[in-house]
Copies of this chain bind each other. A is one copy, B any other.
Amino acid sequence: MNYLRIPALLPLALLMGGAPPEEARFDAQGRMAFPDGYREWVFVTSGHGMSYNPVANAAALAPFDNVFVNRAAYEAFKATGHWPDGTVLVLEIHAASDKGSINVAGAFQSGTARGVEVHVRDSKRFKTQDGWAFFGFDPDKQAPAEKIAESASCYSCHEQHAAVDRTFVQFYPTLLPIAKAKGTLSPAYVKEAGQ
């Protein structure tokens, strides 16, 4: 039944022909290229002023974080509750404003991205951490990034607290129910969450 809809999608494919591929790209030195176009990938969630460590003063203008994932990985997660090889999760830290135009309360995203952190699964390239690796980018420079060393706390924290496959699906409201239904929540998370 899908076959019949392909002709109608061809103009979309034509339109998308100029978009960068939704995948992680690496140079000969193993550095990851900035994930161009990630903001047009599938939106997973956003948070505001989140922190995994105590914050001295929770500023009103704390940044937002937006999470995106490449569509192929998203479709695989919906089908299986797991992230496949080739998954690229992008966390964008975005500047915020509180007053502007007609807004009188709360906060909205304004200005530009301040940081881009990427979590990639590629078991052929990364032989430890179940194939996962972290990369961090300056969105103003968009220079290629070295893999973050596995001694960094992001690895241990994700290993200890991730709901699914070393990723924080507990913060992704449309994906958490899928993981529950597919039975892919980690035992450690289930114990921690009392679920």
Tell me whether B2 and A17 are in contact (CB under 8 A). Answer: yes
Q: Does A66 contact B (CB under 8 A)?
A: yes
Contact of A106 among B42, B50, B74 (CB under 8 A): B50
- In the bound complex, what is the Cα–Cα distance between A168 and B62 (angstroms)? 22
Interchain CB contact (< 8 A) of A17 among B5, B45, B110:
B5
Main secondary structure of the interface of A (DSSP, over half): mixed
Which residues of chain A (86-124) have a CB below 8 Å from chain B? 94-95, 100-112
A6 touches B13 (CB 8 A): yes
Instruction: Kindly report how many copies of this chain are found in the complex they form together.
Output: 2
Q: Which residue of B lies closest to A110 (CB)?
A: B173
**Residues 61-94 of A at the B interface (beta carbon under 8 Å):** 62, 64, 66, 68, 71-72, 74-75, 94
A12 contacts B173, C-beta separation under 8 Å? no
Give the residues in chain B near A6, CB-CB below 8 Å.
Answer: 10, 13-14, 17
Of the candidate stretches A52-60, A125-133, A142-150, the one touching chain B is A52-60
Complex Cα–Cα for A91 and B98 (A)? 19
Closest 4 CB pairs of A and B: A49-B106, A2-B17, A43-B43, A51-B105
Q: Which residues of chain B come closer than 8 Å to A171, judged between CB atoms?
A: 100-101, 103, 108-110
A and B contact pairs by CB, cutoff 8 A, 13 listed: A2-B18, A5-B17, A6-B14, A6-B17, A9-B13, A15-B75, A40-B74, A48-B48, A51-B106, A55-B106, A62-B106, A101-B171, A101-B189
Residues of the B chain whose Cβ atoms lie less than 8 Å from the Cβ of A161: 101-102
